[in-house]
C-alpha cells in the first residue's frame, strides 16, 4: 500500500470535492481518497499496482490541475 498527497488546484466547492473523490475512487486499486478543500490536497491510498500518473490523470480529466 502506498500513500501520496497530490496538490490539486481549481477545487472551489463541495461539488468539486465530490467530483475529484469519485474520479480518483474509480481508478482500480485505489483504496481511499481524502480531499481537503481548504488545503487543496488530495490524499490517496493505493495498491502497488497503481501508477501515480493514473491518479493525476483522473484528476486532470475532470478539469483540475495537479502540481
End-to-end CA distance of the chain: 22
CB of 34 to Cu ion, least distance (A): 17
Cell of 19: 467530483
Number of residues that bind Cu ion (CB under 5 A): 4
Phi first, then psi: what are they for 20, rounded to 5°? -65, -45
18 lies in the binding site for Cu ion (CB under 5 A): no
**Region binding Cu ion by CB under 5 A among candidate stretches 1-9, 15-23, 45-53, 59-67:** 15-23
Nearer to Cu ion, 27 or 37 (CB): 37
Amino acid at each position: 500500500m502506498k500513500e501520496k498527497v497530490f496538490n490539486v488546484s481549481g477545487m472551489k466547492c463541495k461539488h468539486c470535492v465530490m467530483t475529484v473523490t469519485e474520479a480518483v475512487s474509480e481508478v482500480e486499486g485505489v483504496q481511499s481518497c481524502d480531499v481537503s478543500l481548504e488545503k487543496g490536497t488530495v490524499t490517496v491510498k493505493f495498491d502497488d499496482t497503481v501508477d501515480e500518473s493514473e491518479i493525476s490523470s483522473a484528476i486532470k480529466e475532470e478539469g483540475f490541475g495537479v502540481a
